[in-house]
Amino acid sequence: MYDIKISSCSLSDIDFADRTFPFSYGVLPVALATSIAKLGLLQPPLLVAGENGYRIVCGRRRLEVVRNEATRKVTDESLAVNVCVAENMSLPELFRRALWENLAIREFNLVEVADIYMAASEIFRVEELEQEIMPALKLPRRKRFQQRCQAIAGFPRQLRDLLAAGSIDGETVDLIREWSVEERVALLDLVAESGLRRNKLREVVSRLDDLARRDQVSPLKPLSAARKFALGEGDSVNVEWLRSHLKTLLYPHLTAAQLEFAARQEKFAWPANLRLEPPPDFEGGKFRLSFTFTSSKEWEKSCDKLTSVALEDIDEICRRS
């Protein structure tokens, strides 16, 4: 029969480095710090005795807030806090308790999911892992999701921080999990220079990976070429230039089609307020013709100009090479 006792414990007696129960990773919520500053620890954290002090089972974020505040105020780490100490509980029992108590409060970020899965895989049998832990984490059984967790567990701190903050998604992890350390560092530098996040970052990484596989080179090569092209003032990278250049490198026919389309339009004396746009990527679809006006007279004038455009000009524009 297990037992949980309420006790007083100093911060210095807690092993914050221990990650046996990895249920917290990322920036501490401001609301939590505000609540603790006003009301204190309403719910004592759950600890268990370990080799280097008490291990944190539940309540790591609460304890880190208290420790940060103590450090800010230069308070002695012998500061005591009220905690619950578990005795005679097995590791799987403690892990389950921590899992479900945390899930009752919030959803886990990608790093937490990966760390929890990796820790659980060392504690539980395969059947328990697949039937209880993975469904709780909303982790599909497909192999790529397990490989994703393994990759995240081995990522450097900077990448893990971006993942925890939601700046990088799981699909991007799938793309870079086989990248070298040097390639990942270059990607981190690019993120710092450009501010790329989430969907646009995934797009850039996907194109870098496609270029690397197509040309059988390191992603560093197309990344370096695109970065030089998109480098603006103050060593910042223009995201739209970067995306455009990578698209050009990946689809060289697109650049040729754009240049040819522009050359065709230069032949014609089209009204200035008429704008013709080709189908996206010149693949199927329809041309888009638009014009602007601010009054009924301008409308009539624009319509007259539009009807005056020679049909042979339209035929030339629509002709596919």
Query: In the prediction, which pLDDT does 117 show?
Result: 97
171 confidence band (pLDDT: 50, 70, 90): very high
Cα separation, 82 vs 59, whole angstroms: 12
Indicate the pairing of strand 274-277 with strand 288-291: antiparallel
Question: Domain extents for the chain?
Answer: 1-106, 107-149, 157-250, 264-318
Pairing of strands 274-277, 3-10: unpaired
Q: How does the average pLDDT of the chain come out, rounded?
A: 87
* pLDDT tens per residue, range 179-235: 999 999 999 999 988 889 999 999 999 999 999 999 999 999 999 888 888 886 667
**What is Dmax (Cα atoms) for the chain?**
92
pLDDT at residue 128 in the model: 96
**So what's the pLDDT on residue 317?**
67
Is the pLDDT at 290 greater than 90? The verdict is no
Q: What tens digit of pLDDT does each residue of 117-155 get?
A: 999 999 999 999 999 999 999 999 999 999 999 999 999
Dihedral of alpha carbons 163, 165, 170, 175, sign: negative
CATH architecture of the domain formed by 1-106: Alpha-Beta Complex (3.90)
> Three-class SS string for the chain?
CCEEEEEEEEHHHECCCCCCCCCCCCCCCHHHHHHHHHHCCCCCCEEEEECCEEEEEECHHHHHHHHHHHHHCCCCCCCEEEEEEEECCCHHHHHHHHHHHHHCCCCCCHHHHHHHHHHHHHHCCHHHHHHHHHHHCCCCCCHHHHHHHHHHHCCCHHHHHHHHCCCCCHHHHHHHCCCCHHHHHHHHHHHHHHCCCHHHHHHHHHHHHHHHHHHCCCCHHHHHHHHHHHECHHHCECHHHHHHHHHHHHCHHHHHHHHHHHHHHHCCCCCCCEEEECCHHHCCCCCEEEECCCCHHHHHHHHHHHHHCCHHHHHHHHCCC
Average pLDDT over residues 20-27: 94
Q: Where does the pLDDT of residue 263 fall: very low under 50, low under 70, confident under 90, or very high at 90 and above?
A: confident
Which of the four pLDDT bands, split at 50, 70 and 90, describes residue 274? Answer: confident
Q: Span 67-92, mean pLDDT?
A: 81
Rounded average pLDDT over 243-271: 75
| β-bridge mates for residue 35, sequence order | none
Mean pLDDT of the 67-81 span: 73
Cβ-based neighbour number of residue 143 at 10 Å: 8
Mean pLDDT of 73-90: 80
- Predicted TM-score (pTM) of the model is 0.77
Strand partners, 237: 231
What pLDDT is attached to residue 77?
A: 54
Q: What is the pLDDT of residue 103?
A: 94
State the amino acid at position 264 in one-letter form.
Answer: R
Predicted pLDDT of residue 149: 96
Q: What is d(CA 146, CA 41) in angstroms, rounded to the nearest whole number? A: 36
How far apart, in Å, are the Cα atoms of 182 and each of 125, 148, 153, 176, 187?
A: 36, 19, 18, 12, 9
Q: Looking at 6-15, 174-183, 185-194, 245-254, which range is the least confident one?
A: 245-254
pLDDT of residue 108: 96
pLDDT confidence tier of residue 63, bands split at 50, 70 and 90:
very high
Predicted local confidence at residue 256, as pLDDT: 73
Using 50, 70 and 90 to split pLDDT, how confident is the model at 2? Answer: low
Return the closest-CA partner of residue 237 out of 187, 165, 177. 187
Which one has a higher pLDDT value, 247 or 115? 115
Look at residue 301 in the predicted model and tell me its pLDDT.
79
